């Protein structure tokens, strides 16, 4: 097979080197006879006709390059394309072709040229969504009392606004004014045109006042500007050569505009292929090529008939589609010529069928993967093309699930459909409310709480809502969020006349707050109405509130919306999360960032987007955007992945492998005969014309399919959902196409994960031949080292991620190992359970009793610093309905038990005699042991100071279990807290002696009437380093260090054996546990072989 960048041709033994970008155009550097004649033609007006792959665009670039090589300036050459992505691709290819530094390459769209000739830098071109928004805005404010009833009924719909926009464009494309539409309505008895004329006149006045232009108006005004005296001299001074690629995609106004430029005695080169005219919705007409001949003087016509893109079989499919359309235009010199392929490869054309879209895309994914792995085709040289934009989402989702990197164009999404844009616009709306002097509504607050910019999860939101109802008697509101943003430490300092404590000294502040509360200080109570623990957890939300207030201040001072958006964006953890996910290949994060870039560009591109009014307008434009805008960037070429794109947006690009989806009857060809609500399809300057019929629609759909299929160089897949139950069958457009074979799945696996699994099986299977096993191992090694943008492409192939392959030896483990104080006991009791639940995420869900315990613990811990028994009981009753009981009869009985636990805590709290240091005190410290260093992080429910100044640890327990394993785990937890506090793990107080600790079991009664909680005391480690039942361990100073050392050794070894204990019956990972289920003999043999290795 020839390399991808070389095409071998029969004719003259010609070898054409093609330079290609990622799915972009191929640029030829060798020329056949017809192409050479084009290059040698020195006529002032040259028209080049040719089908797909004949080199029309390459000739445009070569003519521009030869102009520069002959001594001209690149800035004197004007190259026009039909879309902004096409212009960007042409600009990149031209600069690459010239291979040098050049100033101001003029490669642009016709509309951009028109705006330049209008010579008004202050005027901005509206995107199609912005134009449609203006239409809806004006229609909503319009007095329609004199409008026909049928128009008033539909005037508020999106379709009506879209049809009015098309009507406005049609007027300007024909050089007419709104009054001409009104006159036509009166003359031909069309009431819709009669009332739309004055409306469109007002619309154009509004654009004038705003300093904006829509696309059709820009071309219309440029044509008027070219009629001014001296305009031709000015144009000739700036343009020495005009090149327009695909001129038949221009509407009639654009063709006349280009003709005016040509008549300024400027040489022109035009290219055309009527059979690939697909932008009819923009005013393009395939039959307009005769009009081009009439508008441009003395045209020299050239035909290109050799296809250098498509392989033989694909070229015959394309030619078959071409011959199904009538020969237009009528002029013999412009009539279609038969094309033949110069590519020696046959290529493949396959029909892919499946009963559902998901299964169909999975088959496509298998073929794409085979092309990538077996044939070496880069992901960027493959594409999936579909008829409708609504199908892109499911295609991209399924491909991503099959480990296929996906690339979707930025202009395939409306901004209103992108989640990240919605979130930041919602935050901007709250800033607008604040800047306007209004307090955000409860709905705004609820939106902000669920906004990822706030950085909190749903469980914390629920806790805030519960607390707010308890304390304030209302739902969470904006004043509470403002209180969260306040600085409690500064408040205490101001009250005490001291300076603000150091960051992180919340525990000391809590102690001061409690003292202030005991003294009856009303100010202190108000300053600490939000529990310290809850305040600390809600700090990301508080920072978000501050950013919103900052954005409001900016808008109030008439700053730009761009600045306000930056104020909201910067400083959120969500921003770094999006970036990390996008770099890791997450297509959703990539799409979110693309949308945000487009939003910031929109906010920065208009002078009207400033201050409160500008922000309101930006919010409305984004929220009401229903059609995607052209927001492509030249940096898009650097992105990699399989392109998932609609047929309209794939024009001008080519790929080695193309899968065309949506080829079902009723879907392609699409039934576009919904008609226009304002009869835009029947208007012409001269008469009332007939609406397009089915034959016109069928030709347009055939041309669109021809464009999609002709993008493929080597492999074409025609993909159809075929289901008798759903009435789906293949489209008639693909019936009778030549060389179409039935698709055969290339591989037995459908993802890289399955491939790695199969290779691993072969590697360890002794029944396989040694050569086969060695080859499987070599493939695994190749997959393991494969990287994309610096990250491992197939992490599943890395043996370090395989279960039972062993962790690194102790010498390979560097740095600290993080352990949780509450989980060390579980790790020592059963290492397998600890690994499955804490590392692998196995869980049996939150049990009923555990939910009750968590609720009681939260209420007691959060309110400990400002305790009120009636308030705590009220909070318990309000939160109780959310407890998921096993049986309804249990609800009241369990509520009574929970209340009893809270009341026990009240009695215990009243009896405390030590000084409070803090509640929910954050702990972050290290314990040095012989096997390494353990970093312990956690939270102490209550930390006290005794009369001698030593610390005392208190931990609340709400479980009812008193098994030996549970007791051991609890004792280890408070013992570890003792060790960490003594070593300085509480940053606000530093290293302090610890006199002991205690466990307070709230659900286990003690004493007379069981009114007090059971309390387990633990001596200080300095007083009792080694209990009688524990033998000292060399290198460890106490029994806690010995336990931590043992836990570290387990983690470092990477061996997590299952240990039978009394907790096995309710272990969430007991399924398949080797301690409970006898090992399968085959597994035992496999383990022995692995151990032998």
**pLDDT tens digits along 503-543:** 433 344 344 434 433 443 343 334 335 666 677 777 788 88
- pLDDT for res 12: 31
Query: Which stretches within 805-889 are classed as H helix?
Result: 824-829, 831-834, 848-863, 869-879
Which of 971, 914, 987, 917 lies closest to 946, judged by CA? 914
What DSSP state is assigned to residue 130?
A: H
**pLDDT tens digits along 668-712:** 888 765 678 888 888 888 878 777 777 888 888 999 999 999 999
Which of 283, 152, 268 lies closest to 216, judged by CA? 283
300, 46 contact by CB (below 8 A): yes
- pLDDT for res 1077: 62
- Helices then strands, each counted (H, E), the chain: 40, 28
Any known ligand binding at 57?
yes
Q: Which two tokens stand for residue 770?
A: 């040694």
- Residue spans of the chain under pLDDT 50: 1-22, 487-528, 635, 806-814, 845-846, 1080-1083, 1086, 1089-1093
From the number of C-beta atoms within 10 Å of its C-beta (0-12, 13-18, 19+), residue 46 rates as: buried
For residue 243, give the 3-state DSSP assignment.
strand
Any known ligand binding at 53?
yes
Any known ligand binding at 56?
yes
Residue for token pair 């028994």? 869
Helix, strand and coil content of the chain, in percent to the nearest 5, comes to: 50, 15, 35
Backbone angles phi, psi at 386, to 5 degrees: -135, 165
- pLDDT for res 78: 92
137, 212 contact by CB (below 8 A): no
Any known ligand binding at 55?
yes
pTM for this structure? 0.65
Q: Distance between CA atoms of 637 and 653, rounded to whole angstroms? A: 12
715, 348 contact by CB (below 8 A): yes
Q: Distance between CA atoms of 271 and 304, rounded to whole angstroms? A: 10
- pLDDT for res 1041: 92
Distance of CA 1 to the CA centre of its chain: 38
Which of 879, 844, 883 lies closest to 862, judged by CA? 879
Q: Are strands 642-646 and 300-304 parallel, antiparallel or unpaired?
A: unpaired
Task: Kindly state the helix (H) or strand (E) to which residue 612 belongs, with its residue range.
Answer: helix 611-624
- pLDDT for res 982: 92
Q: Distance between CA atoms of 729 and 665, rounded to whole angstroms? A: 6
């Amino acid at each position: 097979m020839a390399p991808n960048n070389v095409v071998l041709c029969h004719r003259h033994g010609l070898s054409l080197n093609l330079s290609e970008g990622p799915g972009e155009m191929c640029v030829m550097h060798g020329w056949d006879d017809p192409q050479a004649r084009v290059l040698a033609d020195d006529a002032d007006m040259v028209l080049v006709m040719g089908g797909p792959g004949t080199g029309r665009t390459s000739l445009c670039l070569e003519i521009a390059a030869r102009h520069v090589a002959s001594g001209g300036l690149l800035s004197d050459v004007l190259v026009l394309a039909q879309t902004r992505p096409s212009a960007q691709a042409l600009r990149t290819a031209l600069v690459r072709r010239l291979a040098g530094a050049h100033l101001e390459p003029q490669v642009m769209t016709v509309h951009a040229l028109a705006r330049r000739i209008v010579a008004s830098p202050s005027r901005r071109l509206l995107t199609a969504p912005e134009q449609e928004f203006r239409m809806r805005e004006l229609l909503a404010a319009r007095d329609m009392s004199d409008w026909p009833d049928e128009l008033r009924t539909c005037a508020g719909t999106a379709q009506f606004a879209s049809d009015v926009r098309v009507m406005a464009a049609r007027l300007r494309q024909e050089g007419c004014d709104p009054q001409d539409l009104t006159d036509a309505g009166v003359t031909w008895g069309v009431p819709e045109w009669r009332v739309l004329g004055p409306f469109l006149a007002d619309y154009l006045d509004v654009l004038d006042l705003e300093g904006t232009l829509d696309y059709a108006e820009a071309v219309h005004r440029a044509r008027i500007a070219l009629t001014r005296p001296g305009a031709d001299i000015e144009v000739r001074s700036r343009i020495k050569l005009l090149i327009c690629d695909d001129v038949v995609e221009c509407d009639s106004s654009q063709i006349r505009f280009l003709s005016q430029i040509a008549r300024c005695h400027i040489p022109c080169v035009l290219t055309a292929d009527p059979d690939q005219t697909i932008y009819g919705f923009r005013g393009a007409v395939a039959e307009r090529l005769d009009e081009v001949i009439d508008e441009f003087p003395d045209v020299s016509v050239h035909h290109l008939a050799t296809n250098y893109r498509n392989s033989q079989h694909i070229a015959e499919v394309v030619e078959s589609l071409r011959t199904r359309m009538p020969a237009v235009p009528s002029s013999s010199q412009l009539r279609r010529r038969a094309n033949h392929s110069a590519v020696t490869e046959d290529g493949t054309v396959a029909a892919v069928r499946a009963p559902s879209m998901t299964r169909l895309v999975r088959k496509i994914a298998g073929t794409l993967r085979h092309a990538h792995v077996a044939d070496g085709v880069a992901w960027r040289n493959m594409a999936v093309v579909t008829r409708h934009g609504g199908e892109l989402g499911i295609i991209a989702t399924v491909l991503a699930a099959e480990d296929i990197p996906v690339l979707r164009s930025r202009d395939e999404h409306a901004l209103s459909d992108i989640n990240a844009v919605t979130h930041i616009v919602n935050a901007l709306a709250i800033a607008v409310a604040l800047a306007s002097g209004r307090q955000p509504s409860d709905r705004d607050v609820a939106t902000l709480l669920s906004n990822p910019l706030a950085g909190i999860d749903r469980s914390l939101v629920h806790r805030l809502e519960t607390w707010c109802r308890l304390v304030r008697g209302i739902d969470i509101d904006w004043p509470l969020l403002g209180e969260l943003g306040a600085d409690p430490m500064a408040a205490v300092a101001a009250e005490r006349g001291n300076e603000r404590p150091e960051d992180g000294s919340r525990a000391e502040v809590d102690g001061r707050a409690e003292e202030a509360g005991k003294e009856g200080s009303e100010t202190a109570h108000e300053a600490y109405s939000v529990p310290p623990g809850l305040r600390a957890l809600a700090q990301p939300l508080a920072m978000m509130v501050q950013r919103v207030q900052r954005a409001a201040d900016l808008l109030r001072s008439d700053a730009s919306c761009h600045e306000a958006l930056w104020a909201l964006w910067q400083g959120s953890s969500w921003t770094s999360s999006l970036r990390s996910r996008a770099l890791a290949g997450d297509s959703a994060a990539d799409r979110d960032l693309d949308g945000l870039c487009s939003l910031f560009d929109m906010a920065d591109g208009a002078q009207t987007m400033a201050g409160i009014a500008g922000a309101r307008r930006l919010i409305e434009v984004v929220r009401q955007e229903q059609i995607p805008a052209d927001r492509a960037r030249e940096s898009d070429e650097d992105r990699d992945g399989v392109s998932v794109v609609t047929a309209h947006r794939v024009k001008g690009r080519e790929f080695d492998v193309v899968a065309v989806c949506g080829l079902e009857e009723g879907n392609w060809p699409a039934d576009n005969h919904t008609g226009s609500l304002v009869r835009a399809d029947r208007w012409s300057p001269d008469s009332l014309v007939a609406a397009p019929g089915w034959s016109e629609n069928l030709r347009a759909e055939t041309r669109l399919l021809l464009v999609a299929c002709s993008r493929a160089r080597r492999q074409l897949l025609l993909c159809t959902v075929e289901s008798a139950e759903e009435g789906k069958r293949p489209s008639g457009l693909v019936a009778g196409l030549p060389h179409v074979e039935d698709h055969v799945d290339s591989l037995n696996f459908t993802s890289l994960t399955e491939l790695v699994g199969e290779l691993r099986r072969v590697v360890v299977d002794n029944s396989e031949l040694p050569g086969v096993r060695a080859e499987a191992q070599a493939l695994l090694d190749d997959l393991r080292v494969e990287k994309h943008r610096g990250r491992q492409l197939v992490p599943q192939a890395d043996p370090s991620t395989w279960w039972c392959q062993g962790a690194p030896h102790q010498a390979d483990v560097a740095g600290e190992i993080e352990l949780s104080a509450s989980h060390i006991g579980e790790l020592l009791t059963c290492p397998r359970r600890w690994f499955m639940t804490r590392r692998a995420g196995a869980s049996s869900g939150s049990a009923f009793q555990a939910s009750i315990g968590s609720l009681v613990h939260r209420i007691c811990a959060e309110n400990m610093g400002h305790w009120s028994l009636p308030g705590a009981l009220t909070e318990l009753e309000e939160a109780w309905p959310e407890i998921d009981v096993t049986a309804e009869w249990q609800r009241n009985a369990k509520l009574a038990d929970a209340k009893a636990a809270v009341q026990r805590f009240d009695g215990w709290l009243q009896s405390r005699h030590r000084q409070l240091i803090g509640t929910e005190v954050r702990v972050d410290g290290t314990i040095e042991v012989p096997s390494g260093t353990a970093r312990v992080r956690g939270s102490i429910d209550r930390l006290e100071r005794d009369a001698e100044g030593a610390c005392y640890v208190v931990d609340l327990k709400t479980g009812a279990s008193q098994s030996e394993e549970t007791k051991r785990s609890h004792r280890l937890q408070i013992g570890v807290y003792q060790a960490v506090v003594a070593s300085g793990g509480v940053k606000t107080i530093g290293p302090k002696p610890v006199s002991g600790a205690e466990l307070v079991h709230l659900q286990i009664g003690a004493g007379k009437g069981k009114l007090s909680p059971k309390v387990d005391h633990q001596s200080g480690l300095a007083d009792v380093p080694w209990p009688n039942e524990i033998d000292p361990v060399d290198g460890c100073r106490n029994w806690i260090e010995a336990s931590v050392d043992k836990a570290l050794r387990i983690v470092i070894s990477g061996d997590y054996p299952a240990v039978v204990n009394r907790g096995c019956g309710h272990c969430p990972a007991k399924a398949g546990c080797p301690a409970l289920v006898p090992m399968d003999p085959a597994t035992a043999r496999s383990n022995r072989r692995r151990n032998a290795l």
